[in-house]
Structure 1
Amino acid sequence: MGARPDITAWRPDVEGIDEVFHAHFADHAYPMHTHDAWTLLIVDEGVVRYDLDRHEHGAPSSVVTLLPPHVPHNGVAATPGGFRKRVLYLDTGQIGADLVGRAVDRPVLRDSRLRHRVDQLHRTLVRPGDELEAQSRLALVSERLVRHLRDQPAAPQAHDRRIAYALRDLLDARFVEGLTLREAAEKLHSHHTHLVRAFGREFGMAPHQYLTGRRVDLARRLLLDGMRVPEAATSAGFYDQSHFSRHFKRVVGTSPGRYARTGVATSPPY
């Protein structure tokens, strides 16, 4: 009897991602099969050997693998001890159908920056409440994948201050209830990737970082006014108390509860 696989799978609330799949297989061998989505794969331990369109390929931990929809492939460990992998199944709208042939010919992408960005996206997806961050990271990943498949160099980026400030105004108006990157793009009549890049160039931070900062500022005021931590988390727009505490401590340097207890003084301690 083989070792029991360690598997986690879920459907995130992020448009463009059909499924997230994390797995550690010691001895599982995939038969030939297909998916109706783009398969974006990174390997964290071991090496995966697979056949795609009757050609053999390998997926070590240093590369990104992109398998196109509806093209048969298999998979088996090429190293003792199996392999550990993380997979995103992207809907077909993320990458054009005209690029399937290029992906069949070149499924292995040797791009350390892309590998890092995919890793960051996975780390974001395991944290409920950070959907805007995940959407922003997905936009940059998808853009880089398409550029690889089209053999395009990085395009020069115009400095669009107008769209950056328009997005900031929109985030200011919606920071408690939040918004998706697609909603912002539709309201501002701009491509979602352009929004992320323009905002970052103008303000030195990503849109999700700005939104989180606004939420933390509101929560600080609510806590010092005497609101309990769970109510402050909800009122400031955080997903739950864990989501709130993680971001609050990262921004402020202490936990919400400890911060709130400093509010019992009627005058500054100096």
Structure 2
Amino acid sequence: MTHGAPRTATGPPRTATGPSRTTDGPPRTTVSAWRPPVPGIAEVFHAHFTEHAYPSHTHDTWALMILSDGAVDFACDWHRHGVTGSDTVVLLPPGVAHDGRTVTAAGFRKRVLYLDATVLPEGLTGRAVDGPVFGDEVLRHRIHLLHGSLGHPGDAFEAESRLSFIRERLRSHLDALRTPRRPGREANRLAAALRELLDARLPTGLSLQEAATVLHAHPTHLIRCFKQTYGLPPHAYLTGKRIERARGLLLDGRRPAMVAAAVGFHDQAHLHRHFTRHVGTTPARYAAGLRRPPS
């Protein structure tokens, strides 16, 4: 249990650093994460990975990413994309499965803004799936400046203003893309119903047979419909949602043991294993920077 009221991190913490890489040791990872006092921004995430592969997962937020250096290969809704260069911007929409992995020995450095789903209209999700990568030097520079203002708690008004111009430019890119593909109506209906059920039962979970009984569908048909609609199987979606909820609670200052129980993991070790696989660092290291003064 935490002692006293949960504390929200509102400034950039010191970097949480993984072990240095040796010949037989694990790769070096550095991660910083915080929640700024800026409407529309759910989380700021800076990371350097030399060897990491994100499993397929979803977010409730828009993920807006730029690279400082290196290269990334990722899939969004089954389509793979490669990202390099300093003028490239990646926008991943809410609720759409994606992964990511390093492609060179040097790895990559990235800066990500997780934007509330309300920052961009839900109707633009399909277009973002069709075109998640923008070669836009002006947009990239605006995002770079926004990250700079987010490093100073007193500059929230400046950051909010910069976000407004970024949102406007993202809208112009998405509006120019073609109409998105439409999934099958029956598959979409069953997948959406299962997704609502999983979201409602996030802390407690449910068995596949129970879900099939509630939704009056065969278990394997449910899985196929869900994967066809969202790009990943139901169990992977549930794990990803729990990790996303865990990140929020850790940013609130909750201890990893409490977080594990609150989001539905069996124990802290269970959270540790999946969190490290998804985020590239352990829950303890992710939270460690939040207990130190901002740098």
Q: TM-score, normalised by structure 2?
A: 0.51
Tell me whether 1:26 sits opposite 2:50 in the alignment. yes
State how 1:139-150 maps to structure 2 within 5 Å: 139-150=164-175
| Aligned match of 2:239 | none
Query: CA shift at 1:135, angstroms?
Result: 0.3
| Aligned match of 1:10 | 34
Q: Distance in 2 between matches of 1:15 and 1:91?
A: 8
Tell me whether 1:55 sits opposite 2:79 in the alignment. yes
| Aligned match of 2:149 | 124
| Aligned match of 1:87 | 112
What percentage of residue pairs aligned between the two structures are identical? 53
The amino acid of 1:41's aligned partner reads: M
| Aligned match of 2:126 | 101
Q: Distance in 2 between matches of 1:75 and 1:5?
A: 15
Q: TM-score, normalised by structure 1?
A: 0.55
Query: CA shift at 1:80, angstroms?
Result: 2.0
Q: Distance in 1 between matches of 2:46 and 2:165?
A: 21
State how 1:173-188 maps to structure 2 within 5 Å: none
Q: Distance in 2 between matches of 1:73 and 1:40?
A: 13
The answer to which structure, 1 or 2, has the higher relative contact order (CA under 8 A, 6+ apart) is: 2
Q: Distance in 2 between matches of 1:81 and 1:33?
A: 24
The amino acid of 1:11's aligned partner reads: R
Q: Distance in 1 between matches of 2:62 and 2:82?
A: 18
The amino acid of 1:139's aligned partner reads: S
The amino acid of 1:117's aligned partner reads: R
Q: Distance in 2 between matches of 1:123 and 1:79?
A: 27
**1:101-146 superposed Cα distances (whole Å, 9 cap, x missing partner):** 0000000011100000000000110111000000000000001001
Q: Distance in 1 between matches of 2:41 and 2:76?
A: 22
**1:143-172 superposed Cα distances (whole Å, 9 cap, x missing partner):** 1001110029xxxxxxxxxxxxxxxxxxxx
Q: Distance in 2 between matches of 1:70 and 1:129?
A: 32
| Aligned match of 2:236 | none
Q: Distance in 2 between matches of 1:80 and 1:44?
A: 16
**Unpaired runs of 5+ in structure 2?**
1-24, 178-295
Q: Distance in 2 between matches of 1:59 and 1:35?
A: 20
| Aligned match of 2:277 | none
- Single out whichever of 11-20 and 70-79 deviates more from structure 2: 70-79
| Aligned match of 2:101 | 76
- RMSD of Structure 2 on Structure 1 (CA): 1.1
**Unpaired runs of 5+ in structure 1?**
153-270
Give the length in aligned residue pairs: 152
Query: CA shift at 1:59, angstroms?
Result: 1.8
